[in-house]
A = this chain, B = another copy of it.
Amino acid sequence: MSDKPVSIRDVAERAGVSPGTVSNVMNGSKPVNPALAARVREAARELGYQADRAGALLRTGKARIIAVLVPDLDNPFFTSIVSAVESCLSDQGYEIIVASSNGDEATEQSRLAAMLAWRPAGLVVIPCSDEFPTRALIERTRIPYVVADRITRDPSADTVSVDNVNAGTIGAQHLLELGHRNILVAASVLSLGNIRERCAGIAETLARAGAPEPTFLEAGNHFERAAVRIFQWLEENPWPTAILALTNFTTLGALAALADRQIAVPRPISLIGFDDYAWMRARATPLTAIRQPVPEIGAAIWARLKARIEGDTAPPAHIQLECSLKVRASTAPPSPQDGISTNAG
């Protein structure tokens, strides 16, 4: 009906009190006579009053907004993090604003600047590279932030990630136990620290067992590209007995390459995927996979951010959560002759 939103003054007038009192009632910032408070609440309800957050923001300088910046909103891992964080803070009076850097530093910079203009209470960033040059931009604002997933070296803020070394280790361990010694690692890009750590966990585990060093293939951050890279590699090299994928997209790339090449799983090639999605289970040969604890990651991010927003000044915390191996049907002991097989074309 009314063209303009109801303001705090409308409520005050209707309840016969001052705007300040309405504010105190709505925010509980100061005790108010119960009878009055009831009258105010009644008036607010009748008018459908919803405080305009612009006024509050202007006055307090802090929006009840959490800005989330991810490298790719089409990557289900990143959106699952967004979802996990959203479900934590939605009932705490915060709103979430999202942007994608498209894996590009210039875009990261400009999207970040745009979101910062809202003076959000906190920030969640999955940087597009380990350089994280936009960190300076953030730190000038003094806004609390958490770096997630991709941890830059020398982080001066809270970080939340998985134990990437261990993630690699449990994958390699599983393959070793099955008897694999000839392993292809389908990495995304080795310029990312988290990927390098996963590789390190694998390399170390294999080395300790006296197994030959695996091949680390950089397959990129996109499904299509990963598929052709892995396909080509399988064309040009003796086959491994197992592939260990280090991201969800390289998992898909490996699956596509194996399918195109008509190579069955788990024999002649076993496959361990990364992350855990419904489609990994919905297959004739469900995928063995390294699961990242996404809900826990989201909860940890919010816990740190919330603490900082509320004034926690402890030194930066670096939270690491453990991945777990979901053993399903895509991994099996290599068949005896596979150990010496070469690409028969």
- Is A73 close to B, CB under 8 A? yes
* CB–CB B74/A86 < 8 A: no
**Is A340 an interface position by the 8 A CB rule?**
no
Kindly provide the distance from the CB of A273 to the nearest chain B CB, expressed in whole angstroms: 10
A11 within 8 A of B: no
- Interface 1/0 per residue, A212-253 and B, CB below 8 Å: 000000000001000100000000000000000000010011
- The distance in angstroms between the C-alpha atoms of A90 and B3, with both chains bound, is 29
| Nearest-Cβ distance from residue A243 to partner chain B, whole angstroms | 13
Known: A1-B140, A140-B48, A264-B284. A118 touches B227 (CB 8 A): no
A259 on the interface (CB 8 Å rule)? yes
The chain B residue sitting closest to A87, CB to CB, is: B100
Q: How many residues of A contact B (CB 8 A)?
A: 64
**Among listed A50-58, A167-175, A331-339, interface-contacting one:** A50-58
List the B residue with the shortest CB-CB distance to A59: B54
Tell me whether A93 is interfacial, beta carbon within 8 Å.
Answer: yes
A294 to chain B, nearest CB (A): 9
State how many angstroms separate the Cβ of A288 from the closest Cβ of chain B. 15
CA distance A55 to B227 in the complex (A): 49
Is A316 in contact with chain B by the CB < 8 A criterion?
no
Q: Indicate whether A255 reaches chain B with its CB closer than 8 angstroms.
A: yes
Distance in Å from the Cβ of A247 to the closest Cβ of chain B?
Answer: 12
A36 within 8 A of B: no
Complex: A259 Cα to B218 Cα, angstroms: 32
- The CA of A284 and the CA of B254, in the complex, are separated in Å by 12
Question: Within the complex, what minimum Cβ distance (angstroms) separates A275 from chain B?
Answer: 11
If A256-B282, A279-B252 touch, whether A95 touches B74 (CB-CB below 8 Å) is: no
Q: How far is the CB of A26 from chain B (nearest CB, A)?
A: 12
A293 at the interface (CB under 8 A from B): no
Output the residue of A65, A96, A278 with the most chain B CB within 10 A: A278
A63-B74 contact in complex given A99-B86, A279-B277, C-beta closer than 8 Å: no
Say if the beta carbon of A82 comes within 8 Å of chain B.
Answer: yes
Residues of the B chain whose Cβ atoms lie less than 8 Å from the Cβ of A53? 117-119
- Which of A107-115, A146-154, A158-166, A196-204 lies on the face that meets chain B? A107-115
User: A86-B99, A90-B100, A119-B5 given as contacts; is B113 within 8 A of A50 (CB)?
Assistant: yes
Supposing A52-B119, A58-B55, A252-B282 touch, asked if A82 and B95 sit within 8 A by C-beta, the answer is no
Q: Which residue of B lies closest to A113 (CB)?
A: B50
A-B contact pairs, 25 of them (CB 8 A): A4-B61, A50-B113, A50-B117, A51-B117, A52-B58, A52-B119, A53-B117, A54-B57, A73-B79, A73-B82, A73-B86, A79-B82, A79-B83, A83-B100, A87-B100, A90-B99, A90-B100, A95-B97, A95-B114, A96-B98, A98-B98, A255-B283, A256-B278, A264-B284, A284-B284
Given A74-B80, A95-B115, A258-B284, 14 extra CB contacts under 8 A: A50-B116, A54-B58, A54-B119, A55-B58, A73-B83, A73-B87, A76-B79, A83-B100, A95-B97, A95-B114, A96-B97, A255-B279, A277-B279, A279-B279
